[in-house]
Chains A and B, each alone.
Chain A
Amino acid sequence: MSGAYCEKLARINLSTGEIKVEKLDLALAHKFIGGRGLGTKMLYDEGVAAVDPLSPANKLIYITGPMTGTQSPSSGRYMVVTKSPLTGMIACSNSGGIWGAKLKYAGWDAIIVEGEAPEWTYLTIEDDKIGLHKAEEYLGMMSEELDEVLRAKHGEDASVLNIGPAGEKKVLLAAILNDKDRAAGRSGVGAVMGSKKLKAIVVRAARRDLDNIADSEALKAANLRALRAIGANPVTGSGLRQLGTAVLVNIVNNIGAFPTNNWQGSYDTQGEAISGETLAEKYLVKPHACHRCPIACGRIVNVNGHVCGGPEYEPLWAYGGNCGNDDLNIIDECNRLCNEYGLDAISTPCTIAAAMELYQRGYIREEECGGVPLVWGSTRALVEWTRRMGDPESDLAWLMSSGSARLCEHYGHPEFSMSVKKQEMPAYDARAIQGIGITYATSNRGGCHVRGYMISPEVLGLPQQLDRTAIDGKAAWAKIFQDLTAVIDSMGNCLFTSFALGAQEYTDLLNAATGTHHTAEEVLQIGDRIYNIERMFNKAAGMKPEEDRLPRRLMTEPVADGPSEGMLSKIEITLPMYYEARGWVNAFPTDETLKKLGLDECVGK
C-alpha cells in the first residue's frame, strides 16, 4: 500500500527525447516526505550541485507532495526544484493553482526534465501518456493567451504550466507560471526551463481524486479537524479572504518596517494608497481560492477593464513604497505584466528599485535609459522597465534582468543590492524586526521570508507575540519555523494553513495519508533533515560561509524615519546563536549533526 504517493516518476531527457518511467523509492520518500525535501535529496544524489545551472546538465524536478491531490485542505501545491542560475544554489519554488493536483491525478509524483531539446518543445501529460510537441509557434506568447490556446487545443479541463518571454530569453529573474497567474516565482527557475527549450507542460487527468490513501477514515477525521481549526481561526477563517496578503501593507508600515526607495527609508507616508483596504475598495472583483482551499487568499482584480490575478503583499510593497510609487493601479498592471512575461514579482521590482537608487546617485546615466529614466515614483518607468526586463534588448535591460546583485556589481556599487545570496529580500525591514533578519540571512535559497516566516510571531502575534526588537530566543524560533515550513512544503500543503495548524495536525494528516507512524517531534526532525540536505547541496555548489549575511545597509545605516527610526539589525549577534541552535559551525552542519539527522551520506563532504 503506497499511501498517497503515486510511486511513479517520469524522467524525460529532452536531448534524446527518451522518456523513462521510474518507481518512486518509497523509503526515501518517507525519509524526506516529498516535494521540496525529496526533490532536493534527488538532485544532491545526482550530482546537480556542481553543474552550470543554464547548461543541459542541470535538472528540473516538478514535484508534488504526498498530500497534493488529497482532500486535505489547501493541498494543491507543487514545487520546481533545480539549481538556481540567480544564486548558484538550491532553488525550490512553490506554487498553487491546480497543476500539482492534476499531476497526481494523472498518476505521477514528479516529472524530471534533463538535457536540452534540439528545438522548442512543450510536453503533454495525459494520464500515463507523455508526449513531446513542437512549440516554435508559441514563442513570445504570454501566459494568459498561452493558457487559453493550449487548453483549446488539448482540453478545457487541462492545466497549463509555462514560461513567458522572460524564460525563453533565460532571464535570471524568470519565473514559471501555472493556471495563468499562479507562480513558482523565485530563483530564476523559469530561466532553467528556457535553457532546456521547454515552453510549457500541459496536464490532463481522468481522475479527480486519489484512491490510495493509507487510512481513509483517519484522513477524513484529520481533514475535518484541520478544516475546523482553519475555519475557527480568524486569519484563515475570514481575514485572508477579506483582504488577502495585501492586508499587511498597513500593518508593516505602521510599525515602521516598510522599506521605501530601496531601503533608504522605512515608513511610507502614502501607504494607505497602496494598502489592502484600498485594493478591496477600488479594484477587487472577488477573492480566489486554489484547489481545495477554504482560505481563498487570492485576489481577482480589475486592471483598466481587464480582470486578472491581483498582487500579493510583496509586489505591492516592491512596486509601491520601495520604488517611491503610490499608484495602486500601476502596481496591479505591473503585477499582471510579471505574470504575463513570467517574471519574479518580488525580484523584478526590487531590482528596479536598486536601479533607481543607482540613477539617483548618478551611476546610471540618463543616456542609458532608452528614453525612460529611472526616476523614483515614475509609473512609466515601472511599467516600461518591467516589460524590458521581461524581454530584454538594451544593455541596461539585460543587466537589470539578471537581478540587483549583478546590476549593482556592474556599476561598482554592490552595496545597493538589497539581496542575500543574490536573491532580493522581501518586504519587511530586518532592522526593525530582528528575527526575520535571521531568516533572510540563513535561508538556503537566498533572500526569502516564507522559509521561516518570523513575521508571524514578531508582527502578527501568531502563535504568540514576540518583541520584534529583542534578540533572545529568536534563533530557536527561526529554526522551528524553518523546520516546520520544510515539512509543510514537502507535504504539498499551503504554508498559510500554518496560521491555524501546528506540528501535531500536520503529523496526523501525513500519517493518515501515507501510513507512517511519526510523532510530531519526529516530523520536525524530518524538517531539520530537509533543511540540512539543502545546506549540503549549497555547500557542494560552492557556497561560502560569508554568504549567510545581510546587506551592509542593514548593519550600518539606522532606520531613517518612522516608528522604528534609529534601529539596526543585530545579525552579528543572532547568527552565531542560530548556528548553535542548528548544530552548525561556520555555516555548515557538523558531522555529528549530519549523523544525528540520518544524513550519513553527507558526512565528510
Chain B
Amino acid sequence: MIEVRVFATLRQGREKITLLPAGGFPTAADVLRQLGIPAEAVSILLINGFHSKPENPVKDGDILALFPPVGGG
C-alpha cells in the first residue's frame, strides 16, 4: 500500500490519511489525481521524507506527505 498524508488546508473535505494500492498509482501525479488535488495546490510533495515532483514514481510501502503553500519561522 501507499500511505498518503495530507496537511493544512489540503485536509478540507479529505481524510488525513488515505491508503492506496501501489499497483494502481505508478506516479505521485496519479495519486494526486485520485485524491482530486490539483498539482498547483501542492507546494511540498514528500515521498518518504524527501522533496519530490508529481512525475516521481511511487512504490509499495511509500509514504507521501502533501502540503499546500506554507511558511514559518
Residues of A whose CB lies within 8 Å of any CB of B are: 233-236, 239-240, 242-243, 245, 247-248, 250-251, 254-256, 272, 276-277, 297, 312-313, 449-450, 453, 455, 459-462, 465, 467-468, 495-496, 499, 562-564
Looking at the assembled complex, report how far the CB atom of B14 sits from the nearest CB atom of chain A, in whole angstroms.
12
CB-based contact B43/A499 at 8 Å = no
Known: A243-B8, A247-B8, A277-B7. A255 touches B73 (CB 8 A): no
Known: A247-B70, A453-B73. A563 touches B49 (CB 8 A): yes
Which of B8, B69, B72 sits near A313, CB closer than 8 Å? B72
Number of residues from B at the complex interface, CB < 8 A: 21
B11 at the interface (CB under 8 A from A): yes
Known: A255-B46, A277-B11. A247 touches B71 (CB 8 A): yes
CB-based contact A461/B71 at 8 Å = no
CB-based contact B48/A240 at 8 Å = no
Looking at the assembled complex, report how far the CB atom of B1 sits from the nearest CB atom of chain A, in whole angstroms.
18
CA distance A455 to B51 in the complex (A): 13
Task: State which residues 16-67 of B face A: CB under 8 Å.
Answer: 16, 43-44, 46, 48-51, 65, 67
Residues of B whose CB lies within 8 Å of any CB of A are: 5, 7-9, 11, 16, 43-44, 46, 48-51, 65, 67-73
Which chain B residues border A256 with CB–CB below 8 Å?
Answer: 49
Which chain B residues border A254 with CB–CB below 8 Å?
Answer: 5, 46, 49, 65
Which of B5, B11, B69 sits near A235, CB closer than 8 Å? B69
Which chain B residues border A449 with CB–CB below 8 Å?
Answer: 73
CA distance A562 to B50 in the complex (A): 11
Looking at the assembled complex, report how far the CB atom of B34 sits from the nearest CB atom of chain A, in whole angstroms.
20
Instruction: Please indicate which of the listed interface residues B5, B67, B69 has the most CB atoms of chain A within 10 Å of its own CB.
Output: B69
Which of B49, B68, B69 sits near A255, CB closer than 8 Å? B49
CB-based contact A461/B73 at 8 Å = no
Supply 27 A–B pairs (Cβ within 8 Å), ascending by A: A239-B8, A240-B70, A245-B73, A247-B8, A247-B70, A250-B7, A250-B8, A251-B7, A251-B44, A251-B70, A254-B49, A255-B46, A255-B49, A255-B50, A272-B16, A276-B8, A277-B7, A313-B73, A453-B73, A459-B44, A460-B72, A461-B43, A461-B44, A461-B51, A462-B71, A563-B49, A564-B49
User: Which residue of chain B is the closest to A563 with respect to CB atoms?
Assistant: B49
Which chain B residues border A495 with CB–CB below 8 Å?
Answer: 73
User: Which residue of chain A is the closest to B46 with respect to CB atoms?
Assistant: A254
Which chain B residues border A467 with CB–CB below 8 Å?
Answer: 51
CB-based contact A563/B8 at 8 Å = no
CA distance A236 to B68 in the complex (A): 13
Known: A251-B7, A254-B5. A245 touches B49 (CB 8 A): no
Which chain B residues border A465 with CB–CB below 8 Å?
Answer: 51
Looking at the assembled complex, report how far the CB atom of A489 sits from the nearest CB atom of chain B, in whole angstroms.
13
